[in-house]
Amino acid sequence: MTIFGPRTTNFESAPDCLCEGDETKGTPAHGIGPARLAIPAIVRPRKEARNTVSSITSKSSKATALAQVQAVIAGTEKHFSKATFVLGKTAYTAATLTEALQGLANAIVRLNALHASVKDAVMELRGIETQVAPLMRDYKRVVLAAFSTGAQELADFGMQPPKARTPMDSDKRAGAVAKMRATRKARGTTSRKQKLAIKGDVTGVCITPVTHAEAAAHTPSGGSK
């Protein structure tokens, strides 16, 4: 004897449901007292919801995901506290399902705490780096000065001797000079003395004198009486 009715297929899932599948509903038979509600279901994740972990950490806000999981737990405890479920061919009671969901919530909380600690560590590193980086730079200069040609000694410090410059031959030097002059000519670059020799093309300045009487003649009438 079963307390459930015929098997029905739920082709349309609720908008907030991440799964689609079959849901069996039933009505208790006559003469049978209260019993736990069993909801067997064949769960098949939607295509866009298969990567649940990546969606929580990258696409959706972790705070929103945590609030959603906590809401599902609260709803389960309120409406299905004595129910059993078959999800993905595995039987769950309300307690075991809530425990699994709470594990996800705890993981999100731990991730938030780790992100906060990483942010604090980065800020601490930047502060120490500001103080120690100049010291490190100056000390490396001292080591290079002490062992400028000692490859083995510099290797003990994880350093290499500076590469010696290869002197240019006469042909390369002449080519470099010719290219430099051609570039300066194309850009119109001049030397400091040549710039000082360039003057503005002004032959003279015409100055119009203004006397006090002319200024008084242009004073508007209607002054104080």
Q: Can you tell me which residue has the tokens 């002490």?
A: 146
d(C-alpha 40, C-alpha 90), whole Å: 9
CB of 6 closer than 8 Å to CB of 24:
no
Would you say the C-alpha torsion 185, 189, 191, 194 has a positive or negative sign? positive
d(C-alpha 73, C-alpha 101), whole Å: 7
Tell me, what's the pLDDT at 217?
A: 57
Contacts of 37 (CB under 8 A, 6+ apart): 80, 82, 83, 84
d(C-alpha 151, C-alpha 159), whole Å: 8
Distances (CA, A) of 185 to 38, 148, 175: 91, 41, 15
Tens-digit pLDDT string for the chain (225 aa):
333 444 444 444 444 444 444 444 444 444 444 444 444 444 455 554 455 555 565 545 788 888 999 999 999 999 999 999 999 889 999 999 999 999 999 999 999 899 889 999 999 999 999 999 999 999 999 999 999 888 899 999 999 888 878 888 888 888 889 999 899 888 888 888 888 888 777 777 788 877 776 555 555 555 554
Q: Quick one: tokens of 91?
A: 């039987």
CA angle 11/82/99 to nearest 5° reads 85
Tell me, what's the pLDDT at 195?
A: 82
**Whole-structure pTM value:** 0.43
Q: Can you tell me which residue has the tokens 């004198």?
A: 209
**What is the phi/psi pair of residue 13, to 5°?**
-95, 160
Q: Of 67, 46, 69, 65, which is closest to residue 56 (Cα–Cα)?
A: 65
